[in-house]
């Protein structure tokens, strides 16, 4: 009976959604509101069981969609196949979920950077499950220094913005990724750089200009108007920054990881149009962006082909 009812219920849901869409409305399923709790639960990622706070939206995402964030594993495998001595960097590592996915697909050394105290504690525990992991508890930007910041969503999705004059804030110390990596007693060949820092992605990647110039890593970052616009960072200038450093191939995916499309170096206007289109409440809230250097055109084509096949 239950199997019989599933198509019937699905058709009813689709009918309601289409009716609402006809009148200009759209339903969005949101994760549970995060709770201030220290309760720990477990999720299996990359063949390992990692710890995560039950109030962290990532917990909900992985429980509901086990393939969430799986694209990073696909790219890690492609990078490892092309560059056997490659390293990966995970900025905004949270509790180590991306680390687990990368390690499950490719034996890359991984540098993890996380500034949130609560997330970093679990990141330390989860990192012990893997070899060749280098942890840094710090904040990154486009230049080193101190700044008075307003801090939100601590413990699950830390978001920074400049504190208003006269308002209470936290004085935070920022580093650049270039300086951080230079301080290692290693000489990593960074070929995969993931940044997910709630708006600071653009600044952090600019602070890795030396890495981009020397190692030409595949980049993945979040393009989110809700968190970028309050910082006042011009997205068009950032696009020019990437293109000027040889990044000529771009792939955009929706928040569910579904391929939206591919762009070339001359598609700046379309890139900006898509950025302006996305926002909370729109059909696409934000984009996950993949950027490939012109020297990695084959990696771009292989990943794009795989994503197009997965979309069917």
| Max Cα–Cα distance, the chain, nearest Å | 64
The answer to whether position 148 is within a domain reads yes
Residue 159 located in a structural domain: yes
The pLDDT tens digits along the chain (312 residues) read 333 333 444 455 555 655 555 555 555 444 444 444 458 999 999 999 999 998 888 888 898 888 899 999 999 999 999 999 999 999 999 999 999 999 999 999 999 999 999 999 999 999 999 999 999 999 999 999 999 888 888 887 888 888 888 777 889 999 999 999 999 999 999 999 999 999 999 999 999 999 999 999 999 999 999 999 999 999 999 999 999 999 999 999 999 999 999 999 999 999 999 999 999 889 999 999 999 999 999 999 999 999 999 986
Q: Which domain holds residue 181?
A: 40-311
Element (H, E) at 110: strand 110-113
Q: CA 57, CA 30: separation in Å to the nearest integer?
A: 9
Could you tell me whether strands 86-91 and 189-195 are parallel, antiparallel, or unpaired per DSSP bridges? parallel
Tokens of 8: 């019937």
Cα 259 → chain centroid: 15
Residue 208 within any structural domain of the chain: yes
Q: Is 155 a domain residue?
A: yes
In Å, how far from its chain's centre is CA 172? 22
Contact between 189 and 86 under an 8 Å Cβ cutoff? The reply is yes
pLDDT of residue 64: 86
CATH code where residue 66 lies: 3.40.50.150
Note whether 193 and 218 are within 8 A (CB): yes
Indicate whether 63 belongs to any domain. yes
Q: Which of 156, 152, 127, 131 is nearest to 40 (CA)?
A: 156
Helix (H, G, I), strand (E, B) or coil at 112: strand
- Asked whether residue 23 is domain-assigned, the answer is no
Is 19 part of a structural domain of the chain?
Answer: no
Taking the whole predicted model, whether its pTM rises above 0.85 is answered as yes
Q: How many domains, in total, are found in the chain?
A: 1
- Answer yes or no: is 26 within a domain: no
DSSP string covering 155-192 = TTS-EEEEPPTTS--EEEEEE-HHHHHHTSSS--EEEE
Q: Give the C-alpha separation, 297 to 304, whole Å.
A: 10
């Amino acid at each position: 009976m239950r199997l019989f009812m599933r198509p019937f219920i699905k058709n009813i849901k689709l009918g309601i959604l289409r009716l609402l869409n006809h009148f200009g409305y759209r339903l969005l399923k949101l994760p549970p509101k995060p709770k201030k709790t220290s309760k720990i639960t477990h999720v299996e990622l990359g063949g390992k069981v990692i710890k995560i706070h039950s109030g962290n939206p990532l917990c909900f995402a992985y429980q509901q969609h086990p393939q969430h964030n799986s694209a990073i594993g696909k790219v890690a495998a492609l990078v490892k196949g092309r560059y056997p001595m490659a390293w990966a960097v995970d900025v905004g590592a949270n509790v180590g979920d991306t680390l687990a996915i990368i390690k499950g697909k490719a034996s890359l050394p991984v540098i993890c950077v996380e500034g949130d105290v609560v997330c970093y504690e679990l990141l330390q525990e989860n990192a012990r499950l893997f070899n060749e992991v280098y942890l840094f508890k710090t904040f990154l930007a486009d230049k080193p220094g101190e700044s008075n910041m307003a801090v939100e969503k601590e413990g699950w999705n830390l978001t920074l913005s400049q504190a208003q004059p006269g308002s209470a804030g936290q004085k935070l110390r920022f580093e650049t990724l270039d300086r951080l990596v230079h301080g290692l007693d290693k000489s990593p060949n960074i070929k995969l750089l993931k940044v997910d820092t709630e708006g600071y992605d653009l600044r952090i990647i600019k602070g890795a200009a030396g890495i981009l110039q020397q190692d030409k890593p595949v980049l993945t970052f979040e393009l989110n108007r809700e968190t970028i616009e309050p910082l006042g960072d011009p997205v068009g200038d950032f696009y020019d920054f990437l293109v000027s450093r040889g990044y000529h191939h771009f792939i955009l995916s929706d928040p569910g990881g579904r391929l939206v499309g591919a762009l070339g170096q001359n598609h700046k206007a379309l890139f900006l149009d898509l950025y302006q289109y996305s926002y909370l409440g729109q059909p696409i809230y934000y984009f996950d962006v993949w950027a490939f250097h012109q020297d990695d055109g084959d990696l771009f084509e292989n990943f794009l082909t795989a994503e197009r096949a997965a979309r069917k």
